[in-house]
Chain A
Amino acid sequence: MTVKAGLLAAVRGFTVAVLSMAVSLAHYILVTVSIALIPIGIGVLTTPVLMQSARAQLNMRRRISDEWFGVEVAVPYRKEPRFQGGVIGQAQRCQWMLRDPATWRDLLWMFIDPSVGFTLGILPLALIGEGVYGFVLAAGVWKPVYDAGGGEWYGFIHVTSQTSAFMAAGLGIVFLATGLRFGPAITRGQALVARALLGPNHERELELRVERLTETRSDALDTSAAELRRIERDLHDGAQARLVAMGMSLGAVERLMERDPERAKLLLAQARESSAMALHELRDLVRGIHPPVLAERGLGDAVRALALRIPIRTEVTVELSGRADAPVEAAAYFAVSETLANAAKHSGAEQIWIDIRHEGGMLRIAVVDDGQGGADLERGTGLRGVERRLGTFDGVLALSSPPGGPTMVTMELPCVLSSPKTSSS
């Protein structure tokens, strides 16, 4: 495993080293020349184009850092405003780019990448290569080298005989082992340096956070406004209408009580039925606003109760030491509810597993079904809505649903648990 990881790191590091030499250096030279040419006008036109190209390759570098070395690097660029067409627009774009601190940090990175990025990138492969070369010497190659008049220096060993060649092989083992053992750490170090410059600075991080908050806040407002409209409509067409009918029936009963007791009795029965219907509708409405089991027992049992309502076998595992805040609980509940509804409707699953736990300050929920898969966030399956709902609480949703299944929806919500409410028993 270590050997495989070491070799992989060596190959990936080498790729990054090539990228840093070929692409970063080239862009750095081109962009600095272009910026230098701004005073005479040409630079105004070329700089945005070259920076655009540089940003594209640096974005690839950010992706590589994440996918290969596990170092997540956020994209720091500001959203491009709308510019006019033609030369004036290009001049505006040039000015806009030069004002973005990310541009200068990019430039600084492209300047040091060919030295720092290259060195750290190539180091694991170099160590492994040097180690292998030690064996090559010991296998007999030392002799022609020596005969040709060159005393070969291998590290601190002057290879002049078979004995010293064996010593070179011994040192080679050290090089090889170091390269394999520490290769992943070295390449990861390279990615960490990259993050320091390619990631957003503190100010930009705050900006990104504000952008996200603005977005999720408007989503939350939209959702709650839509909810209120739905509740208003349900009350208006449901319970309210039933109560009006009841009042009318009772009024008629009052008039008929003496004249026509039989008919009055009939109307009373009707009034009772109306009240039962009104209750029934209110109950459904309440369930949609805040499910009673959630209020009474918390998330775990509410999800268990939910699982009992769907016609698919469902196994629920809950590991929670307390209760989350009511809004978080409700968001998590409705997210699971929507996910389950989705699974019941589209997946064709025979079994569903739900796992709820709290780890490292995160409420983690996984819903897995053995259905046909192929669910897609983009194809309006309701999961987008779930994602937005969770977004209000800084929660995230991930979907894995290859064709043929299984489908796995995982959700994470940052929250703290309070100790469980004391009950009388």
Chain B
Amino acid sequence: MRVVLAEDLFLLRDGLVRLLEAYDFEIAAAVDNGPELARALTELKPDVAVVDVRLPPSFTDEGLQAALHARRETPGLPVLVLSQHVEQLYAGELLADGSGGVGYLLKDRVFDADQFIDAVRRVAAGGTAMDPQVISQLLARNARDEPLGRLTPREREVLELMAEGRSNAAIAQRLVITERAVTKHTSNIFGKLRLPPSDDDNRRVLAVLAYLNGT
């Protein structure tokens, strides 16, 4: 799988290259600034891009802008955005086109190699990987939402993991329950939030995120 990587800190870029290579990813390009990233994204058409939000030369949100721009040109181009901080505002912008293949994680998540690689693969496959902090912020903001208030604690846990973009199998493993139980919780959640049911994992995640972002 071909990856374009954009990170301006040498140590972190180097570490990410080694990590990705260790998991059999092919590094198509590893760049350290915005303009080069924009070029790499359009010319190399990678299977997935791992991008730092803040990049030279302006040290503003160059990376994010380049990623958003590339996704407008190539809808669904898988992009995993890394940042030193997560903001719902940016998450909303990444999710706005509703086409999936989006990830938004804190840089700390790189520490847990297995989880991080899982997230990269999920995004590359058209899924989602949202940082748990984004989800907890979303839920805190929806604290007064009535349908959400009707969820049981277990359903809430399932909802959080689902919103992060995890598959039913992964949720089952994490909560130490059967996949059947997860399916049951999921259908309850969709019923309570009045969302149209769907068998497709990715579509389900996007529906839940849209719900949380919308209210």
Nearest CB in chain A to that of B143: its residue: A311
Q: Which of A275-289 contact B (CB under 8 A)?
A: 275-276, 279-280, 283, 286-287
Is the C-beta of B137 less than 8 angstroms from some C-beta in chain A?
Answer: yes
What B residues does A311 contact at CB under 8 A?
A: 140-144
- What's the minimum C-beta distance from B34 to chain A, rounded to whole angstroms? 4
Q: Contact string, B55-78, partner A, CB cutoff 8 A, digits 1/0?
A: 000111110011011000000000
Q: Are A296 and B53 in contact (CB under 8 A)?
A: yes
Q: Which of A404-425 contact B (CB under 8 A)?
A: 421-425
Nearest CB in chain B to that of A312: its residue: B144
Is the C-beta of A82 less than 8 angstroms from some C-beta in chain B?
Answer: no
Is the C-beta of A341 less than 8 angstroms from some C-beta in chain B?
Answer: no
Contacts between chains A and B (CB distance < 8 A), count: 71
Contacts A286-B85, A308-B89, A309-B88; is A422 near B65 (CB within 8 Å)? no
Contacts A296-B54, A425-B65; is A310 near B141 (CB within 8 Å)? yes
Q: How many residues of chain A are within 8 Å of chain B by beta carbon?
A: 25
Is the C-beta of B111 less than 8 angstroms from some C-beta in chain A?
Answer: yes
Q: Are B61 and A283 in contact (CB under 8 A)?
A: no
What A residues does B111 contact at CB under 8 A?
A: 272, 275-276
Is the C-beta of A293 less than 8 angstroms from some C-beta in chain B?
Answer: yes
Is the C-beta of A297 less than 8 angstroms from some C-beta in chain B?
Answer: yes
- What's the minimum C-beta distance from B185 to chain A, rounded to whole angstroms? 25
Is the C-beta of A292 less than 8 angstroms from some C-beta in chain B?
Answer: yes
- What's the minimum C-beta distance from B4 to chain A, rounded to whole angstroms? 15
Give Cα A305–Cα B92 distance, bound, in whole angstroms: 10
Give Cα A296–Cα B54 distance, bound, in whole angstroms: 8
What B residues does A292 contact at CB under 8 A?
A: 54, 83-85, 87
Give Cα A420–Cα B143 distance, bound, in whole angstroms: 36
Q: Contact string, A299-311, partner B, CB cutoff 8 A, digits 1/0?
A: 0010011001111
Is the C-beta of A295 less than 8 angstroms from some C-beta in chain B?
Answer: yes
Task: Point out the residue from B34, B60, B141, B144 that lies within 8 Å of A296, measured CB to CB.
Answer: B60
Q: How many residues of chain B are within 8 Å of chain A by beta carbon?
A: 31
Q: Are A424 and B66 in contact (CB under 8 A)?
A: yes
Is the C-beta of B171 less than 8 angstroms from some C-beta in chain A?
Answer: no
- What's the minimum C-beta distance from A423 to chain B, rounded to whole angstroms? 5
- What's the minimum C-beta distance from B120 to chain A, rounded to whole angstroms? 19
Give Cα A287–Cα B144 distance, bound, in whole angstroms: 26
Interface on chain B toward A: helix, strand, loop, or mixed SS? helix
Is the C-beta of B21 less than 8 angstroms from some C-beta in chain A?
Answer: no
Q: Are A287 and B85 in contact (CB under 8 A)?
A: yes
Task: Point out the residue from A280, A296, A304, A308 that lies within 8 Å of B61, measured CB to CB.
Answer: A296
Contacts A272-B111, A295-B60, A311-B141; is A424 near B34 (CB within 8 Å)? yes
- What's the minimum C-beta distance from B147 to chain A, rounded to whole angstroms? 16
Is the C-beta of B98 less than 8 angstroms from some C-beta in chain A?
Answer: no
Give Cα A292–Cα B35 distance, bound, in whole angstroms: 21
What A residues does B66 contact at CB under 8 A?
A: 424-425
Contacts A292-B84, A292-B85, A305-B88; is A423 near B141 (CB within 8 Å)? no
Task: Point out the residue from A276, A305, A308, A423 that lies within 8 Å of B60, measured CB to CB.
Answer: A423
Q: Which of A280, A422, A423 has the most CB of B within 10 A?
A: A423
Q: Are B58 and A425 in contact (CB under 8 A)?
A: no
What A residues does B58 contact at CB under 8 A?
A: 421-424
Is the C-beta of B108 less than 8 angstroms from some C-beta in chain A?
Answer: yes
Nearest CB in chain A to that of B35: its residue: A424
Q: Which of A286, A296, A297, A423 has the most CB of B within 10 A?
A: A296
Is the C-beta of B38 less than 8 angstroms from some C-beta in chain A?
Answer: yes
What A residues does B38 contact at CB under 8 A?
A: 424-425
Give Cα A422–Cα B60 distance, bound, in whole angstroms: 10
Give Cα A276–Cα B142 distance, bound, in whole angstroms: 27
What B residues does A276 contact at CB under 8 A?
A: 108, 111
Q: Are A424 and B65 in contact (CB under 8 A)?
A: yes
- What's the minimum C-beta distance from B5 to chain A, rounded to whole angstroms? 17
Nearest CB in chain A to that of B69: its residue: A425
Q: Which of B35-54 contact A (CB under 8 A)?
A: 35, 37-38, 53-54
What B residues does A297 contact at CB under 8 A?
A: 60-61
Q: Are A425 and B68 in contact (CB under 8 A)?
A: yes
- What's the minimum C-beta distance from B136 to chain A, rounded to whole angstroms? 11
Give Cα A301–Cα B143 distance, bound, in whole angstroms: 23
Give Cα A275–Cα B106 distance, bound, in whole angstroms: 14
Q: Are B141 and A308 in contact (CB under 8 A)?
A: yes
What A residues does B60 contact at CB under 8 A?
A: 295-297, 421, 423
- What's the minimum C-beta distance from B205 to chain A, rounded to whole angstroms? 20
What B residues does A275 contact at CB under 8 A?
A: 111
What B residues does A425 contact at CB under 8 A?
A: 38, 65-66, 68-69
- What's the minimum C-beta distance from A284 to chain B, rounded to whole angstroms? 9
What A residues does B89 contact at CB under 8 A?
A: 293, 301, 304-305, 308
Give Cα A296–Cα B89 distance, bound, in whole angstroms: 12
Nearest CB in chain B to that of A273: its residue: B111
What B residues does A310 contact at CB under 8 A?
A: 141
What A residues does B59 contact at CB under 8 A?
A: 295
- What's the minimum C-beta distance from A252 to chain B, rounded to whole angstroms? 19
Given contacts A304-B89, A308-B137, A424-B38, 18 further A-B contacts (CB under 8 A): A272-B111, A286-B85, A292-B85, A292-B87, A293-B87, A296-B60, A305-B88, A308-B88, A421-B60, A422-B58, A423-B60, A423-B61, A423-B65, A424-B58, A424-B66, A425-B38, A425-B65, A425-B68
Can you name 8 A-B residue pairings with CB atoms under 8 Å?
A296-B61, A305-B87, A309-B88, A423-B62, A423-B65, A424-B34, A424-B65, A425-B38
Sorted nearest first, the 7 A-B pairs with minimum C-beta distance are A424-B34, A425-B69, A305-B89, A296-B61, A308-B88, A425-B65, A296-B60
